[in-house]
Amino acid sequence: MHLTGYIGLLFGLLASLFLAAWAAIAAWTERYEGLVLVERGQLAAAGGVVLSSLILLVALTSRDYSFMYVADNVDNALTFVYTLTAFWGGREGSLLFWELLIALSGAVFVFSPGYKSLAPRTKLYFWTIFLTIQGFFLLLLTSWSNPFIEVVPPRTDGRGLNPLLRNPGMIFHPPLLFLGFAGYTIPAACALAAFIAGEKKSWIAVTRNWNVLSWMFLTAGILLGCWWSYMELGWGGYWAWDPVENASLIPWFAGTAVLHTCIIESRRGALQRSNVFLMSLTFLLCIFSTYLTRSGVIDSLHTFGESGVSFPLFMCMVVGLAVTLVVVFMSERHVTRALSEFLSRQGLLVAAAWFLLALGLVVAMGTMWPVISKLWSPRPLGLDAHFYNRVCLPFMAVLVFFFCLCPWLGWKGGIRNMKGFILSCAAFAISFGAFYATGMTRFWPAFGAASAVGAMTSIVLLFAFYPAMRSLRRNWGAYGIHLGVALVALGIAFSGPYKVEREFVLKKGEVASIEEYQVKYLDLVEDSTPELRARATATLEVSRDGSVLGYLAPDKRIYVNFERQQFAEVSTIFSLGDEIYATLLGLTEDDGASFKLSINPLVNWLWIGGTIMSLFPLLLLRRIARPGEKGDA
């Protein structure tokens, strides 16, 4: 089976390279009858990748330890769900999972009405680019990152999955990121192909659903990563500005910027070149993200194994960027349209794109600073979280503030609804004053929180003033996402700078105070399960002004296969205001226990807003009209 799995990938590689060359020649010589072979060939190549993926999946579920990958990532005690997730839990498997999604995207795209509506020449250029990307991934999988290496003799048990990874976050976080990354392949290849071929049909309309879905998956993946970090990893928060965390945020900024600039092209025909560049850049930043996590070029909190794929990934970025620049600047000049005045809805959309791209640039530069600084410093200089907070916070706050103003401006300029404009600005000003008066005296967090209130007011007023808006699904989608953004901003503005954290050593019956809350250590219970050799669960009673608010039950556990290490499970008392969060740090010899307690104000609005951001894009999906059919594409 090892060989069959490998041959599936090898077949996919050879087919992709052959078909990419075939498509390029056919496009160059304008012999469009070759297109059928390419389309069928992609289905066959995808079939090879699917076969290999199935073989790996079967090997994982049957715990076939003759596969090195299975032996490295699974053990006999691992539950079925985490055995399945090991497919994307390891280095080689995650790359195969990404490639599988690319191959399936290509196979699905062939049958989509959007693809069918493209001109044959565009299709051929699309396949040239797409198949080259697919071939590159298959080259990695058949050479530097082969998941089908055999172990002789096979082991009787594997090495298993680290307990920190046994969390629902592991089930959803990585595949969602990969879905986002892989999804961007289609719009990026389509944008470049349409620009080269001078396609009449708008690539933005054709790939709109791919673009929206990729953004949605990437957003959901990042959000789940934050939640996982908050609940499991004990880094004291949801974002540590770590290189590996930043790696997925950088393409997200570019992907968000391009969604906004695409609106301008769709409505006004402007920014055609910029959009092709930004779409391709978003995809290349997904590659950059993988490069950051797997090259070991930057020291990170995450221990990702270094592998031979870093140089090929780096070269892929360089070549991809060069090709993009050549296409954007050398292709036949397209229609150019001037932008409307700056203080218009269009102008602020352009400004929002600048802000998003600047944020992406700042995060990328900050992350790579230890490498960049080596150009003049003998010792690497890095940037800590203060740098990101100093630079990113004002930009994010102003970005959210734009949303108080933007909906009330006309597309070409002027204020289209003065009442709404004034009310939204008033909501911003009053809430800013109120936050300041209630002790939120740091300027940018208060500005960000007030902008969020202003933005939410804007959205509610828009739907109140324009009843016709309520009947359009896409309005619910677009404004729903922005409502989610405002809630996330509100959650971050409070829970970031105003989090309070304390550590205590308590004996049973003792009470500790944190802010206006009293926490009493009641009891400690010890037990075990088949998976856990030992578990100690503390019970804490939380009260305020004499009334009991709830109980916390943080635990400390030792897993059967990891006896030399203890793991903590945090406990929280859910609240839309202050969330109380407890970790059991350790037990002391005199029957006491040490705890880390924190008060996280409004943190749950971050998860609620993030969930809204991750679900409302579904309302933006549109049916694309088939060729010759009248539709809204």
Please give the residues from 305 up to 334 whose contact with other proteins meets the rule CB under 8 A. Answer: 305
Examine residue 98 and tell whether it contacts other proteins (CB under 8 A). no
Q: Whole-number minimum distance, CB 102 to other proteins, in Å? A: 22
Cβ proximity to other proteins, 115 vs 228, nearer residue: 228
Among residues 201, 27, 198, 4, the alpha carbon closest in space to that of 128 is found at 27
Which range, of 128-136, 310-318, 379-387, 452-460, touches other proteins by CB under 8 A? 379-387
Alpha helices in 466-557 (DSSP H): 473-495
Of 564, 574, 630, 632, the one binding other proteins (CB under 8 A) is 564
Considering only residues 99 through 158, tell me which ones interact with other proteins, judged by CB under 8 A: 157
Cβ proximity to other proteins, 174 vs 420, nearer residue: 174
Which range, of 116-124, 263-271, 311-319, 390-398, touches other proteins by CB under 8 A? 390-398
Examine residue 304 and tell whether it contacts other proteins (CB under 8 A). yes
Q: Between 190 and 229, how does the x/- string for binding to other proteins read (CB under 8 A)?
A: ----------------------------------------
Residue 539 CB partners (closer than 8 Å, separation 6+): 521, 522, 523, 524, 525, 551, 552, 553
- The C-alpha atoms of residue 270 and residue 574 are separated, in whole angstroms, by 47
Q: 98-134: buried (b, 16+ CB within 10 Å) or exposed (e) per residue? A: bbbbbbebbbebbebebbebbbbbbbbbbbbbbbbbb
Examine residue 583 and tell whether it contacts other proteins (CB under 8 A). yes
Structure tokens at 343: 């203080």
Of 42, 73, 367, 475, the one binding other proteins (CB under 8 A) is 73
Which range, of 185-193, 365-373, 523-531, 572-580, touches other proteins by CB under 8 A? 365-373
Q: Which residue type occupies 570?
A: V
Cβ proximity to other proteins, 373 vs 543, nearer residue: 373
How many positions of this chain bind other proteins (CB under 8 A)?
73
Alpha helices in 406-442 (DSSP H): 418-437
Examine residue 299 and tell whether it contacts other proteins (CB under 8 A). yes
Cβ proximity to other proteins, 362 vs 493, nearer residue: 362
Of 27, 191, 244, 279, the one binding other proteins (CB under 8 A) is 244
Q: Whole-number minimum distance, CB 603 to other proteins, in Å? A: 19
Which DSSP string corresponds to 103-146?
A: HHHHHHHHTSHHHHTS-HHHHHHHHHHHHHHHHHHHHHHHTTS-
Cβ proximity to other proteins, 10 vs 505, nearer residue: 505
Do the Cβ atoms of 121 and 27 come closer than 8 Å? yes
- HSE-CB of 416 using CA atoms within 13 angstroms: 14
Of 28, 111, 329, 342, the one binding other proteins (CB under 8 A) is 342
Cβ proximity to other proteins, 391 vs 434, nearer residue: 391
Examine residue 405 and tell whether it contacts other proteins (CB under 8 A). no
Checking phi first, is residue 624 left (phi over 0); if not, alpha (psi -120 to 50) or beta?
beta
Examine residue 362 and tell whether it contacts other proteins (CB under 8 A). yes
Structure tokens at 595: 């705890």
Q: Whole-number minimum distance, CB 162 to other proteins, in Å? A: 5
- The C-alpha atoms of residue 240 and residue 613 are separated, in whole angstroms, by 21
SS3 623: coil
| Alpha-carbon torsion, ordered 442, 448, 452, 457, to 10 deg | 80
Q: Whole-number minimum distance, CB 160 to other proteins, in Å? A: 6
Do the Cβ atoms of 629 and 231 come closer than 8 Å? no
Considering only residues 493 through 532, tell me which ones interact with other proteins, judged by CB under 8 A: 503, 505
